[in-house]
Structure 1
Amino acid sequence: MPGPLESLKILDFSTLLPGPFASLMLADMGAEVLRVESPERVDLVRMLPPHVNGVSTSHAYLNRNKGSIGLNLKAREAQAIVRGLIAEYDILIEQFRPGVMDKLGVGYEALKAINPRLIYVSITGYGQTGPYRDRAGHDINYLALSGLASYTGRRDDGPVPPGMQVADVAGGSLHAVAGLLAAVVHRERTGEGQHVDISMTDCVFSLNAMAGAACLAAEVEPELEGTMLNGGSFYDYYRTRDGRWMAVGSLEPQFLKALCETLGRPELAATGLSASKSDQQKLKAELTTAFLQHDFSHWCEQFAGVDACVEPVLSLKEAARHPQLVARGVVQQVPVGDVMQPQMACPIVFGSGASIPRHGGKALGEDSERILLGMGLTPEEIAALRAARAVG
């Protein structure tokens, strides 16, 4: 299937993770995404190990189904090419600090004058306004300023860096896709494009959800291991005898009862969630002792047929092989160069069918000549642009 977004044509100026993950989602759903890459300043993801057959696995995944044109935006000739492309590629994603695209002659106002239907999505750490608009940052900084890190971790050890980039992906990427598609709907209704301003810090702040709602409306500040869902109750991870872990989410009475019966400690179910914090800690201590009595494989077997919201903590390799995820087809084979490579599939299932992955990430500028010829440039003109280092 071509995918539900096959009518969208997107220029992607982003690098690293937030923008590329957003455009990956769009490309997987059928949009035509053309990456605009600098031949002078290569996206660091292309160099990120490990490499398989000379290609970074991260690059092959994040840039799946996308084309690549090499343009040195500091050259006026390259800026002119972007202005020419905007007539056809009327959605743009960029991830530079505020004002950089303006200095390069391809900011929103300049391109909007050429195509008023342009949807221009800017992903930054702190947004286009405010005192931090020009400040550098990374995922861990956005988590810190958004308040999320203040209650994510252990009381004795402090905040913990998450295993994946929450601000980059859940903050930047997913909100960028939502904002972009909302702007597309607005354009279909009104004919107008617009600038979509995505601040990863703003987006992560909104992800505080229940804790944020309680803090703002009732002035209840969450603390490390202080709430029901962050380690303040028995809802937690428990080590097994061989050093593996089990995840216990048995909040409801019927699930807690099943948990305690499977552990051979049915009397513990009487504690429940209505208990005091001290009783909760006593319950956690009892569960900790119980899980330490046997190895990981024993508890996996014991809970396999029990509906108690208890699951093993799997490695990524184990997760990819889990029967549930295999049945859902979360891993797919994608052509990367001359070989097929297993990659994480698009997780959104459409009744109309899924789009077939066409290829992994392409070489920098692999589509430059095809795109430029399609714009009417001659081979001689393209050669001159390459000689001037405007095109890669």
Structure 2
Amino acid sequence: MPGPLQSLKVLDFSTLLPGPYATMMLADMGADVLRVEAPGRLDLTRVMPPHDDGVSTAHTYLNRGKRSLGLNLKDAASVETVKQLVGEYDVVVEQFRPGVMDRLGIGYEALKAVNPRLIYCAITGYGQTGPYKDRAGHDINYLALAGVSSHCGRQDSGPPPMGIQIADVAGGSHHAVMGILAAVIHRQQTGEGQFVDISMTDAAFALNAMAGAACLAGGVEQTPESALLNGGSFYDYYQTADGRWLSVGSLEPQFLARLCEVIGKPELQSFGLSQNPDHQQALKSALKEAIAEKALAEWQAVFAGQDACVEPVLTVSEAAEHPQLKARDMVIEVPKGDGRTQRQIGHPIKFEKTGCESRYTGKVLGADNSLLLGE
């Protein structure tokens, strides 16, 4: 089945993670994505390990389903090529610091003059305005400035460096996709294109959700291990006898009752429902002691038939083999273009009427130059 975005054409000038992840999502949903890169400006995701057949797995995943055009954007002829292309495209995505595309002659105003219906999405660390708009940053910095890191982690060890890029992906990539598609709907209704300004710090700040609501409207500043969901209650991780971990999220009374029965402490159910920190710590201590008595596999067998919101902490390779993720097609085989395939993460949105297709892995830089420039 054709994807729901099969009529959308996207010019992608982004690099690294946020922009390429966003345009990969669009490509999976059927958009025609053309990635434009300068041959002399190396995208680190093309070379970072590990490699598969000499090509970075990060690159082949983030740029799957996209064509590749290599252009020196400082060259006048390349600028004219971009302007010719943009007349036929719906969306431009870029990830330079504010003003860079303008200096190259292919900023929003220049391209809007060619195509007034153009939707132009700029993803930056801090946005197009404000005192930090030209400041460098990475995921860890955006999370820090957005207040997210202040209420994560442990009191005695501070905020953790996360294994995933929250501000980049949950912030920049996902909000960029939402902004672009909202602008597409607006254009369908009005015929107008527009500029979409995505700040990864803004998006990370918005992820504070409940902690932000408690602070801004309720006057309560959340700190590590102080709230229901950040370690201040029994809702937490517990180490097993073999050094693995179990996640315990048994917040509702029926799940909590089942949990306490399984660990042989039914009398502690009232402690889990209590707002008293001492009661919560008593239940945490009981859970820590009980869970440390069995290995992870034993606990998995115990909780397999229990509706208690208790699940093992899996590695990525273990998660890929989990029957739930396999049933949801979250691990797929993507064609390399030579008759072979590469295992990759599948698309997380499932449509009833339209499909999502990962057509091929990311291409070498400029793979489509001859065809595109010939056209």
Q: What's the TM-score bracket when you normalise by the shorter of the two chains?
A: over 0.9
* Alpha-carbon displacement from aligned partner over 1:146-193 (angstroms, at most 9, x marks no partner): 000000000010011111000000000000000000000000110000
Task: Compute the displacement of 1:325 (Å).
Answer: 0.8
Aligned to 1:346: 347
- Does 2:143 correspond to 1:143? yes
Aligned to 1:377: none
User: Is this contact kept in 2: 1:16–1:43, CA < 8 A?
Assistant: yes
Taking the TM superposition and a 5 Å limit, the aligned residue runs for 1:120-139 are: 120-139=120-139
Matches of 2:66 and 2:43 in 1, distance apart? 14
Matches of 2:114 and 2:297 in 1, distance apart? 63
Task: Compute the displacement of 1:42 (Å).
Answer: 1.8
Matches of 1:41 and 1:122 in 2, distance apart? 19
Task: Compute the displacement of 1:284 (Å).
Answer: 0.5
Where does the alignment leave 5 or more consecutive residues of structure 2 unmatched?
A: none
AA of the residue aligned to 1:281: Q
Task: Compute the displacement of 1:272 (Å).
Answer: 2.1
Matches of 1:143 and 1:303 in 2, distance apart? 35
Aligned to 1:73: 73
AA of the residue aligned to 1:17: L
AA of the residue aligned to 1:214: A
AA of the residue aligned to 2:360: H
Aligned to 2:63: 63
Task: Compute the displacement of 1:281 (Å).
Answer: 1.0
* Alpha-carbon displacement from aligned partner over 1:82-139 (angstroms, at most 9, x marks no partner): 0000110121000000000000000001111111101000000000000000000000
Aligned to 1:367: 368
User: Is this contact kept in 1: 2:272–2:279, CA < 8 A?
Assistant: no
AA of the residue aligned to 2:4: P
3-state DSSP class of the match of 1:120? strand
Matches of 1:323 and 1:233 in 2, distance apart? 30
Structure 2 length-normalised TM:
0.99
Aligned to 1:389: none
Matches of 2:354 and 2:185 in 1, distance apart? 22
Matches of 1:62 and 1:356 in 2, distance apart? 14
Task: Compute the displacement of 1:319 (Å).
Answer: 0.4
- Does 2:127 correspond to 1:115? no
- Does 2:315 correspond to 1:306? no
User: Is this contact kept in 2: 1:86–1:115, CA < 8 A?
Assistant: yes
Matches of 1:144 and 1:356 in 2, distance apart? 36
Structure 1 length-normalised TM:
0.94
Matches of 1:56 and 1:67 in 2, distance apart? 17
AA of the residue aligned to 1:357: S
- Does 2:360 correspond to 1:355? no
Taking the TM superposition and a 5 Å limit, the aligned residue runs for 1:1-392 are: 1-338=1-338, 339-374=340-375
User: Is this contact kept in 1: 2:4–2:354, CA < 8 A?
Assistant: no
3-state DSSP class of the match of 2:273? coil
User: Is this contact kept in 1: 2:5–2:26, CA < 8 A?
Assistant: yes
Matches of 1:245 and 1:93 in 2, distance apart? 40
Task: Compute the displacement of 1:245 (Å).
Answer: 0.2
Matches of 2:356 and 2:203 in 1, distance apart? 29
Task: Compute the displacement of 1:279 (Å).
Answer: 1.4
3-state DSSP class of the match of 2:372? helix
Task: Compute the displacement of 1:263 (Å).
Answer: 1.3
Which range moved further: 219-228 or 258-267?
258-267
Task: Compute the displacement of 1:5 (Å).
Answer: 0.1
Task: Compute the displacement of 1:207 (Å).
Answer: 0.7
Task: Compute the displacement of 1:266 (Å).
Answer: 1.5
3-state DSSP class of the match of 2:58? helix
Matches of 2:303 and 2:294 in 1, distance apart? 13
User: Is this contact kept in 1: 2:260–2:268, CA < 8 A?
Assistant: yes
User: Is this contact kept in 2: 1:147–1:205, CA < 8 A?
Assistant: yes
3-state DSSP class of the match of 1:144? helix
Task: Compute the displacement of 1:355 (Å).
Answer: 3.0
Cα RMSD after superposing both structures = 0.8
Task: Compute the displacement of 1:275 (Å).
Answer: 3.4
AA of the residue aligned to 2:352: G
3-state DSSP class of the match of 1:128? coil
AA of the residue aligned to 2:362: G
User: Is this contact kept in 2: 1:35–1:68, CA < 8 A?
Assistant: yes
Matches of 1:76 and 1:143 in 2, distance apart? 38
AA of the residue aligned to 1:78: S
Task: Compute the displacement of 1:260 (Å).
Answer: 1.0
User: Is this contact kept in 2: 1:233–1:273, CA < 8 A?
Assistant: no
* Alpha-carbon displacement from aligned partner over 1:219-240 (angstroms, at most 9, x marks no partner): 1000110000000000000000
